């Protein structure tokens, strides 16, 4: 039986962010996905204009309750969440996590703690960063922050690999067992490379990929989804990170070369399962 993920995220009709970036890639890897939408917009907000509904916390709770009434939540292996636009929505995500774990104690929660980024600062609503730090991250077993989010969540300012590793360990002390730092900006490293870092209690790994010309909205959602999928399929954190880095870079390279403004998930779908590019994973602990 395939793994099953309950993915509580945003959705867009045009483009690929949130569940619209995670659902198809997960299915392409053979994972069953039950998407629960927090918004359903025409397009992502980076375009500056969009239309569509923001679902309420009550709407989300109703969908989760309906799934539970089917008696199928024991089949859920993991809950995945990303951007949380309001504390009330975040609270419903945590209730869903608790319910899934009640139905299946072996289930895990993977949180992409969307807060901000280097160069942009915090871009979520006031109160959300603190809610993520104090309520959401401690409830997660797997977290996938970027460098900026790692620093915020741990109250640190890191610029070297040793400092980032120490911050990841500090983040694990809040509750998560596995931390994936999805991108770092480090002193003394090639600025044309992007370094990812995976950290568990007894090991840590890095992988480096070339920096592409553009950043694509939704790439973080894709990264978290693929990392979780590979963990569920039995890979350790280092192997899961390596497979994720290979697939994400390969797909983003096709997207960049095509000139598309949106992730080329359909055109480059084979990159998700048989990536063109492969990068060496180095164990550092």
Which DSSP symbol is given to 212? P
Domain spans, the chain: 4-283
Residue 194: band (very low, low, confident or very high) from pLDDT cuts 50, 70, 90: very high
Other CB atoms within 10 A of residue 49 CB? 7
Q: Are 262 and 218 in contact (CB under 8 A)?
A: yes
Strands (DSSP E) found in the chain: 4-12, 32-41, 78-81, 108-111, 116-117, 121-122, 142-143, 178-184, 193-199, 204-210, 281-283
Class of domain 4-283: alpha beta
pLDDT tens digits, one per residue of 65-87: 999 999 999 999 999 999 888 89
65 Cβ contact list (under 8 Å, min separation 6) = none
Which DSSP symbol is given to 55? -
What pLDDT score does 24 carry?
Answer: 98
Counting other chains too, the contacts that 149-152 makes at CB distance below 8 Å and 24 or more residues apart are 149/113, 149/114, 149/115, 149/116, 149/117, 150/179, 150/181, 152/115, 152/116, 152/122
The strand pair at 121-122 and 142-143 is best described as unpaired
SS3 79: strand
Instruction: Answer whether residue 119 shows pLDDT above 80.
Output: no
CA distance linking residue 101 with residue 112, whole number of Å: 19
pLDDT tens digits, one per residue of 235-263: 999 999 999 999 999 999 999 999 999 99
Residue 120: band (very low, low, confident or very high) from pLDDT cuts 50, 70, 90: confident
pTM: 0.97
Residue 171: band (very low, low, confident or very high) from pLDDT cuts 50, 70, 90: very high
Block residue for tokens 């492969």 = 278
What pLDDT score does 185 carry?
Answer: 85
Kindly report the average pLDDT of the chain as a whole number. Answer: 96
Residue 168: band (very low, low, confident or very high) from pLDDT cuts 50, 70, 90: very high
What pLDDT score does 67 carry?
Answer: 98
Length of the chain: 285
pLDDT tens digits, one per residue of 8-64: 999 999 999 999 999 999 999 999 999 999 999 999 998 999 999 999 999 999 999
The closest alpha carbon to 10, from 173, 188, 18, 196, belongs to: 18
Average pLDDT over residues 125-129: 89
């Amino acid at each position: 039986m395939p793994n099953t993920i309950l993915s509580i995220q945003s959705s867009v009709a045009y483009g690929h962010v949130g569940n619209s970036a995670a659902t198809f890639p997960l299915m392409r890897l053979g994972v069953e996905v039950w998407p629960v939408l927090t918004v359903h917009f025409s397009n992502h907000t980076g375009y500056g204009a969009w239309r569509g509904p923001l679902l309420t916390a009550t709407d989300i709770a109703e969908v989760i309750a309906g799934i539970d009434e089917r008696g199928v939540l024991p089949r859920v292996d993991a809950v995945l969440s990303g951007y949380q636009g309001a504390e009330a929505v975040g609270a419903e995500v945590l209730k869903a996590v608790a319910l899934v774990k009640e139905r299946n104690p072996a289930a895990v929660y993977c949180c992409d703690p969307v807060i901000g980024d280097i160069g942009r600062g915090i871009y979520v609503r006031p109160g959300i960063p603190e809610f993520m730090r104090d309520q959401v991250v401690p409830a997660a077993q797997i977290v996938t922050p970027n460098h900026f989010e790692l620093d915020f969540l741990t109250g640190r300012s890191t610029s070297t690999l040793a400092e980032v590793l120490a911050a990841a360990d500090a983040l694990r002390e809040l509750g998560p067992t596995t931390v994936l730092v999805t991108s770092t900006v480090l002193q003394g490293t090639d600025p044309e490379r992007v370094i990812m870092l995976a950290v568990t209690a007894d090991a840590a790994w890095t992988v480096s990929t070339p920096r592409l010309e553009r950043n694509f909205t939704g790439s973080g959602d894709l990264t978290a989804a693929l990392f979780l999928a590979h963990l569920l399929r039995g890979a350790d954190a280092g192997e899961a990170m390596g497979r994720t880095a290979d697939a994400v870079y390969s797909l983003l390279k096709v997207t960049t070369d095509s000139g598309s403004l949106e992730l080329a998930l359909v055109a480059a779908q084979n990159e998700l399962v048989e990536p063109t590019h492969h990068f060496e994973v180095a164990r550092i602990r």
